[in-house]
């Protein structure tokens, strides 16, 4: 593949669903995401739980790229994955990231395309209410989402993800 894909958007817009379809259809690589919160059943297989102590140890040892805390949970990526992705210019990689991190990807990887996914707000709220995870209704996460909207206009493409299949087709048309 000539390009890479970075997906972003607010919580509940379907990024993980679109990511799974793109991985399956385009055989894109995804970095392991290291998290200090428990990984829920049904979550992406690329999520790896680490204890808080193990996460900090690995981050200090430079084994974790871009460690960041979001709503009380540490997130980061396997540094080896990031080195490979950067060396390739992003070609053949798929990232599902917070909005600012997507912009970092675009600046570091010349062949990375940035896609902002969105759905009507009423649809997003219904999706969030349907989730088991209390973390997605957390007020801190909701406030961060409102702050992250400022980055939307810097993305290469803004695409509706209300219909995941149609969203994937539109993304593929831009690759």
Q: What is the pLDDT of residue 38?
A: 84
Residues with Cβ within 8 Å of residue 37, at least 6 apart in sequence: 49, 73, 135
Distance CA 45, CA 37 (A): 14
Angle ∠(33,149,160) on CA atoms, nearest 5: 80
Is the pLDDT confidence value at 84 over 90? yes
HSE, side-chain direction, 13 A CA sphere, residue 175: 22
Q: What domain range includes position 105?
A: 4-173
Question: Is residue 102 classed exposed, middle or buried when 0-12, 13-18 and 19+ CB atoms within 10 A define those classes?
Answer: buried
Is the pLDDT confidence value at 134 over 60? no
Cα dist from 97 to 9, 57, 77, whole Å: 8, 23, 11
Distance CA 47, CA 147 (A): 25
Number of domains the chain contains: 1
Q: What is the pLDDT of residue 15?
A: 93
* pLDDT tens figures, 21-69: 999 999 999 998 999 988 876 666 678 999 999 999 999 999 999 999 8
Distance CA 62, CA 97 (A): 20
Is the pLDDT confidence value at 140 over 80? no
Q: What is the pLDDT of residue 106?
A: 95
Q: Residue 122 is part of a domain; what is its CATH number? A: 3.40.50.300
Distance CA 165, CA 21 (A): 8
Distance CA 143, CA 117 (A): 18
Write down how long the chain is: 175
């Amino acid at each position: 593949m000539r390009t890479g894909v970075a997906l972003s958007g607010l919580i509940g817009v379907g990024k993980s669903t679109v990511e799974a379809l793109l991985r399956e259809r385009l055989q894109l690589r995804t970095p392991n995401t290291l998290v200090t919160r428990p990984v829920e059943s049904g979550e992406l297989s690329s999520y790896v739980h680490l204890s808080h102590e193990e996460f900090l140890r690995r981050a200090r040892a430079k084994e974790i790229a871009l460690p960041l805390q979001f709503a009380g949970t540490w997130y980061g990526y396997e540094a080896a994955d990031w080195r490979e992705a950067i060396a390739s210019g992003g070609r053949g990689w798929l990232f599902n990231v917070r909005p600012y991190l997507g912009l970092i990807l675009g600046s570091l990887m010349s062949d990375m395309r940035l896609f902002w996914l969105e759905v009507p707000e009423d649809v997003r709220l219904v999706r969030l209410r349907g989730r088991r995870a209390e973390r997605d209704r957390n007020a801190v996460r909701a406030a961060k989402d409102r702050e992250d909207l400022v980055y939307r206009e810097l993305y290469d493409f803004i695409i509706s993800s209300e219909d995941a299949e149609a969203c994937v087709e539109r993304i593929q048309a831009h690759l």
